[in-house]
Amino acid sequence: MQRNPRAETSMAMPPRGWLRAIVLAAALAGAGIGSGVVPVTAQAKADSDRSMSVPIAADAPERYVVKRGDTLWDISAMYLEDPWYWPEIWYVNPSIANPHLIYPGDVLYFSYVDGKPRVSLERAATVRLSPEVRSSPLDGAIRAIPYDVLMNFAGRPSLLEKDQVKQAPYVVGMRDRHIVGTELNEVYGRGLVKPAPGSRYSIINVGEELRDPDDGDLLGYMGHFAGVGEVLANTGAVVPGKESIFDMKREEELAHLRLSEVSREVMQGDKLFPAAVEVGEDFVISLPKDAQVLGQVVAIVDGVHVGGKYQVVAINRGKKHGLQPGNALGVFHRGEQIRDRYDRTNWSAWTANYDKVRLPDERSATIMVFKVYGRMSYGLVMESSQVVRRGDFIAHPLYGHRDAARSAYLP
């Protein structure tokens, strides 16, 4: 006859056992477990790690004061072995305006609630401090990725989506019949809408094409920084009419710029982008919605063929494939195919009939997508154990991750 484990557990407990249970329940209630909030202890943490899929970092701090220069990725990595699980433990406090934003001076508290880890926020303004005069206001909210890297890329774009190139203003001509422009030369920009005198524009030379390796379609272009132009004034220019050169002429306003910070010759047709840009609201680190997303690294900024941490890469996946800013992706080096030169039956003998063996794919890095277009995105390399190469494939960050040694993939 089969035994019923439920029936066995419901048998009457000996009197001494009941007494122990009552004492234990009282002790747990006194520790705060009865209310759902559990102090962070090694045992509670170990029990939670065994019962849930979110991997908590071994040295996760119970209390952390956010500092200037922190990034959301760095803070997430303090609490999680995999930072992209941040939304799983972040407690969004509805009583705080825009609770997703974290500012320098804010205090983060780590605890377990109903057996699950949670990070909650206490605004700096509500923290009780000893009497002192605040010498400077709090900085803006911290960014998910290093702000200076993001601003440098946005202000001096090195990868250009094809629609950017079509629509961007450009250098239409140069003063004094110059063929190329150098420092302190003056040029004229077309397509700028009444730029204010003193405003600055990065001048970008459009380089080689970026094509989708899947179908050969044009995705964009490499951009090469040529210099900076400062607007001196707006001036009228006379150009032929639309129908023919004999039509009545119309006037068009051009921007008059002086070149500075020139790193290469400025050419007619070079594109103009605002040197000071607003990168907009930040994003939350997340996993891509499509677990089967699979693409390729098509370009690396300033890396030619290889890149590393905090370098920007372009991938051939975008909104069409379900990506959005904040998505984390794994980068994998394709395992090369080699020939086994030894005879299996005689290990010391060479053979003429080589077996082809494909080495395993190696995880090289993790990137975070920060700019997404229809079929193309830009991502920042957040961590890397090997160099990132053009042609490496990108996939969901859990691809090949759980079934192999973690040290083989992440530093």
Q: What is the pLDDT of residues 204-216, one digit of tens each?
A: 999 999 999 999 9
Evaluate whether residue 145 is within a structural domain.
no
Evaluate whether residue 394 is within a structural domain.
yes
17: helix, strand or coil: helix
Task: Report how many domains make up the chain.
Answer: 3
User: Among 248-262, 279-293, 340-354, 397-411, where is mean pLDDT lowest?
Assistant: 397-411
Output the CA torsion sign for 93, 96, 99, 102: negative
Residue 187 in this model has a pLDDT that exceeds 60: yes
Pair 306, 226 in one domain: no
Pair 308, 394 in one domain: yes
- The DSSP H or E segment spanning 204 is strand 200-211
Angstrom distance (rounded) from CA 379 to CA 325: 9
At residue 40, the pLDDT reads 43
Evaluate whether residue 352 is within a structural domain.
yes
Pair 107, 194 in one domain: no
At residue 280, the pLDDT reads 66
CA angle at residue 395 from 209 to 86, to 5 degrees? Answer: 115
Pair 116, 204 in one domain: no
At residue 398, the pLDDT reads 85
Pair 302, 387 in one domain: yes
Residue 261 in this model has a pLDDT that exceeds 50: yes
Angstrom distance (rounded) from CA 307 to CA 297: 11
Mean pLDDT of 45-53: 45
Find tokens 């590393």 and name the residue: 308
Percent of the chain residues past pLDDT 70, beyond the cut: 73
pLDDT band (50, 70, 90) for residue 16: very low
Pair 184, 243 in one domain: yes
Structure tokens at 33: 């477990």
| Residue that terminates a domain, selected from 125, 142, 164 | 125
Percent of the chain residues past pLDDT 90, beyond the cut: 47
Cβ pair 201, 273 in contact under 8 A: yes
Residue 244 in this model has a pLDDT that exceeds 70: no
Evaluate whether residue 144 is within a structural domain.
no
Residue 287 in this model has a pLDDT that exceeds 80: yes
Pair 264, 200 in one domain: yes
| Residue that terminates a domain, selected from 104, 125, 146 | 125
Residue 299 in this model has a pLDDT that exceeds 80: yes
Mean pLDDT of 340-361: 71
Evaluate whether residue 98 is within a structural domain.
yes
Pair 260, 324 in one domain: no
- The number of CA neighbours under 13 Å toward the Cβ of 180 is 9
Mean pLDDT of 326-350: 79
Pair 53, 88 in one domain: yes
Measure Cα distances from 289 to 229, 321, 331, 366, 396 in Å: 42, 9, 17, 17, 9
Angstrom distance (rounded) from CA 369 to CA 346: 50
Residue range 362-385, pLDDT digits in tens: 888 999 999 999 999 999 999 998
Q: Of 396 and 93, which is predicted with more confidence? A: 396
At residue 36, the pLDDT reads 35
Residue range 70-105, pLDDT digits in tens: 999 999 999 999 999 999 999 988 888 788 889 999
Say which CATH number the domain at 382 has: 2.40.10.410
Q: Of 112 and 336, which is predicted with more confidence? A: 112
Q: Of 21 and 211, which is predicted with more confidence? A: 211
Q: Of 64 and 9, which is predicted with more confidence? A: 64
Structure tokens at 195: 């730029």
Pair 316, 403 in one domain: yes
Residue 181 in this model has a pLDDT that exceeds 80: yes
Q: Of 236 and 395, which is predicted with more confidence? A: 395
Q: Of 298 and 305, which is predicted with more confidence? A: 298
Q: Of 6 and 296, which is predicted with more confidence? A: 296
Mean pLDDT of 283-301: 92
Range of the domain at 85: 31-125
What mean pLDDT, rounded, does the chain reach? Answer: 78
At residue 169, the pLDDT reads 96
Residue 217 in this model has a pLDDT that exceeds 70: yes
Strands 388-389 vs 306-307: parallel, antiparallel or unpaired: antiparallel
At residue 410, the pLDDT reads 34
Evaluate whether residue 249 is within a structural domain.
yes
Evaluate whether residue 70 is within a structural domain.
yes
Residue range 120-168, pLDDT digits in tens: 998 876 444 444 433 333 458 888 888 888 888 888 888 999 998 999 9
Angstrom distance (rounded) from CA 64 to CA 78: 10
Pair 253, 335 in one domain: no
Cβ pair 159, 223 in contact under 8 A: yes
Evaluate whether residue 305 is within a structural domain.
yes
Residues 6+ apart with CB under 8 A from 291: 396, 398
At residue 12, the pLDDT reads 40
At residue 241, the pLDDT reads 58
pLDDT band (50, 70, 90) for residue 238: low
Pair 314, 245 in one domain: no
At residue 274, the pLDDT reads 92
